[in-house]
Each structure stands twice: as C-alpha cells, then as structure tokens.
C-alpha cells in the first residue's frame, strides 16, 4: 500500500492513518482566490504537500483551479510528472548542473538565482535544442538563495542576452511577513519593486512578479502582484500566531489511530522507557500504535493529549518508536476505538506548542509509512 492511498472506507488501512478532506482543500483554495482577486495562484505542494500527500493533493488543486504548482526539489516535480500532472511546475530550490537536462525532459520551470546558473542553463538548453523556462530569484532580505537586490540588474540584463531562455517570472520571498511588525516585509517588497523597474525603464513587459507567500497573502495585499504562492494556508493552518486571520480557512488533515491494548497499571509501576511517569493509584491505560517512527515527536512525551470518545486524555511516559500510552484514569475505552491525535480541537498549533516547534514541522514530519486516506464528495 502506498502512502497516497485513496479509499472510500479504511477497513484495509493501518489503524494509524492520516485523513485528508479534499473538499475542505478546495474551499480553502477558493477562499484564497477570492481574496487575491486577479492574481494567479501557484499552489505549493513541496514536502509531500505539507504532509498531505503530493500527488492526490496536487491533482485536486489543479482540478479546482490552481494555475500552477510550486515544489522545492526536482524529485518532487518528477513525481508529479510521472503521475500524469501536466500543469506548470516551478522548482524553488537550487539546482546542480547535472540536473539541468532533467528539467527540460520533464517540462519544468527552473529557478535562476545567479549569473553562473543562468549561463549553465542557457548553454544546456542550446545543446539540447530547447527553450528553458525560468524564474529569476531576487534576495531582498532572506539571505538564502537568490542574487542580492542591489546586484540584481546584472542578472536581469544578462537574461535578456540569452538565446535559449524564456524569463517567465521574477520573484522573491518574505522572511517576516507573518510578524505583527511588518516593517521588514515592507522593506523587502520595496526592494523587489525597485528591482523590477528594470523592465519599465527599458519599455519591456515585466515577467510574472511574485513575492507573496501565505503570510504575505494574509497581511500584505499590496504584495499580491501577478501571482501568489500559498503553502500552509492552503491546508487550513495560519503561518504564525501574530498573523492576521483575514481569510477563513480550515484544517484539511486529521491524524488518527485506534486503541490497540487496554490494561490497569498499578501504583508505583512506571510506564515506558526511562520510567518517566508513574501513578500513586491504579489507572486505566491504553496503548495506541503510533510513535516517533511515524513522526509523532518524542518531545510529546508526558505533554501531549489525544481525544477518545470526545474526551481528552494525556499521553504518559516516553513516546516509543511505534507506540504511545494514554492515561484514561477511570475512563473507558475498548480495543478498536478511534483515537484522534491531530484534529477536532487538537490543532497543529497546539501540537507544535507541546513539541516546542512550529505547525509546519508537525505536518511535514508525519512519516510516509502512515497511509493517507482521501475523502471527497
């Protein structure tokens, strides 16, 4: 069974599974489209579509009106092409020279962050007799990849001289658009807009201009430009606690398991590795088949809660590779009962707080050995 399992019922799926609501995904996309008006939407599906399953999610987003897809890696884009997805795909990440021909063979759009990469791509495209489709990457304050905004004119000028390259887009990326203080984000936008005056000064049409990620979409409408790149927002999670909730989205993913074992633990009998938890009175404890091998962080030990039959119960003892234990106290549960790990009123934000991380990591950390079950219609 593949990680991207599509089932109408889950009787044959591992008890621990992720359920993805494709209808909610479509509603989130629709809400974003309404908010950004005429801007195109590039749906970001990197990191296995933020843990939701790259192929079914990408296919559904295109069906529902996304204009293009964004991924981090060449391998992610190739998976989409092999699945028969023909929509435009931009690969954000840096590339190795040896990979360039594979972009052409798979009809993919390359990110060009430097003069060196531009020349390599132009040369390779000429040798293969193709036209490379590229987006120029401008670093306006992230200090990751991309040519610095104050050096960008030489890259833009060089791109006009290339014989085998089509500059489809030019973009940057916000570092702090999810903050309450948007001073740095506005500075980045100003720098980006200064760079793209290059085309106006030469009476040339500008390529697609884009800088707005999920946070920019929510908080900086002036950054929407020609295209926006929603990521975590598509999946119904807001990018930061300080970020405006200006678009009504809801979570698409829930993570569930089932009770696998029930026991009564006596006083003074510690639970799990390192004996970090014990009770001074008899308690009812159930074992659930999920662990850090599935992406359920070990940092959740003695901190997380789960939902069984509508009630919250604490995770006790160390999270194991494949199992956790849950204290029911004097409550009841039976083998086969559903256990909600993430979903209902347990949000990705709450789980992230328990684990000392961010919702992005909660979602993308769910291992591919956990099957994905898709609900639609």
Which tokens go with 269?
A: 């009998």
Asked if 38-235 and 253-375 have one fold, the answer is no
Q: Confidence band (pLDDT; 50, 70, 90) for 6?
A: very low
Contacts of 200 (CB under 8 A, 6+ apart): 206
| Distance of alpha carbon 55 from alpha carbon 12, whole angstroms | 21
199 a catalytic residue: no
Centre a 10 Å sphere on the Cβ of residue 63 and count the other Cβ atoms it contains.
Answer: 11
Domain 38-235 has CATH 3.30.465.10: no
**What average pLDDT does range 291-316 have in this prediction?**
98
Q: Residue 368: is its pLDDT beyond 70?
A: yes
pLDDT in tens, 19-76: 999 999 999 999 999 999 999 999 999 999 999 999 999 999 999 999 999 999 999 9
Q: Residue 1: is its pLDDT beyond 80?
A: no
Query: Cα-flanking dihedrals φ and ψ of residue 263, to 5°?
Result: -155, 160
Q: Could you state, in order of their start, the residue ranges of all structural domains in the chain? A: 38-235, 253-375
Average pLDDT, the chain: 96
Collect contacts of 220-224 with beta carbons under 8 A, ≥24 apart: 220/174, 220/177, 220/182, 220/185, 220/186, 220/189, 222/189, 223/174, 223/177, 223/185, 223/189, 224/36, 224/37, 224/39
| Distance of alpha carbon 276 from alpha carbon 18, whole angstroms | 29
Q: Check residue 124 and give its pLDDT.
A: 98
Pick the closest to residue 364 from 179, 231, 244 (CA basis). 231
273 a catalytic residue: yes
Q: Confidence band (pLDDT; 50, 70, 90) for 377?
A: confident
Distances (CA, A) of 364 to 62, 106, 241, 296, 358: 21, 25, 19, 11, 10
**What average pLDDT does range 146-172 have in this prediction?**
98
Which of 46, 117, 137, 256 is catalytic? The answer is 46
Which of 150, 261, 273, 334 is catalytic? The answer is 273
Q: Check residue 13 and give its pLDDT.
A: 75
| Distance of alpha carbon 272 from alpha carbon 258, whole angstroms | 19
**What average pLDDT does range 175-184 have in this prediction?**
97
Q: Residue 9: is its pLDDT beyond 60?
A: no
pLDDT in tens, 189-230: 999 999 999 999 999 999 999 999 999 999 999 999 999 999
Give the rounded percent of residues in the chain with a pLDDT score beyond 90.
95
pLDDT in tens, 120-134: 999 999 999 999 999
pLDDT in tens, 94-106: 889 999 999 999 9
Q: Residue 3: is its pLDDT beyond 50?
A: no
CATH code for residues 253-375: 2.40.37.10
Q: Are 18 and 370 in contact (CB under 8 A)?
A: yes
């Amino acid at each position: 069974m593949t990680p991207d399992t599509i089932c109408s019922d889950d009787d044959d799926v591992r008890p621990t599974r992720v359920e993805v609501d494709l209808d909610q995904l479509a509603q989130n996309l629709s809400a974003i489209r309404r908010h950004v008006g005429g801007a195109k939407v590039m749906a970001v599906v990197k990191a296995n579509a933020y843990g939701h399953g790259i192929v079914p999610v990408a296919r559904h987003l295109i069906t529902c009106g996304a204009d293009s897809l964004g991924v981090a890696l060449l391998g992610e884009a190739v998976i989409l092409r092999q699945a028969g997805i023909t929509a435009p795909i931009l690969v954000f990440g840096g590339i190795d020279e040896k990979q360039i021909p594979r972009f052409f063979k798979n009809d993919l759009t390359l990110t060009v962050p430097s003069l060196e990469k531009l020349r390599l791509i132009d040369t390779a495209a000429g040798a293969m007799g193709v036209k490379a489709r590229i987006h120029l990457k401008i670093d306006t304050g992230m200090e990751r990849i991309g040519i610095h905004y104050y050096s960008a004119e030489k890259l833009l000028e060089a791109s006009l001289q290339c014989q085998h390259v089509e500059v489809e887009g030019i973009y940057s990326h916000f570092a702090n658009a999810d903050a309450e203080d948007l001073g740095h984000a506005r500075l980045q936008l100003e720098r980006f807009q200064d760079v793209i005056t290059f085309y106006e000064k030469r009476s040339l049409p500008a390529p697609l201009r884009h800088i707005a990620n999920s946070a920019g979409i929510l908080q900086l409408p002036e950054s929407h430009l020609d295209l926006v790149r929603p990521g975590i927002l598509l999946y119904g999670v807001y990018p930061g606690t300080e970020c405006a909730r200006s678009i009504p989205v809801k979570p698409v993913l829930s993570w569930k398991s089932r009770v696998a074992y029930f026991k009564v633990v006596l006083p003074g009998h510690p639970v799990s590795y390192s004996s970090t938890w014990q009770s001074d009175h008899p308690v009812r404890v159930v074992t659930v088949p999920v662990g850090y091998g599935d992406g359920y962080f070990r940092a959740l030990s003695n901190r997380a809660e789960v939902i069984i039959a509508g009630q919250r119960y604490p995770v006790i003892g160390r999270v194991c590779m494949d199992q956790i234990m849950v204290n029911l106290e004097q409550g009841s549960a039976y083998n086969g009962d559903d256990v909600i790990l993430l979903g209902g009123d347990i949000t990705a934000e709450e789980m992230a707080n328990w684990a000392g991380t961010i919702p992005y990591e909660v979602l993308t950390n769910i291992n591919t050995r956990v099957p994905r079950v898709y609900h639609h219609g």
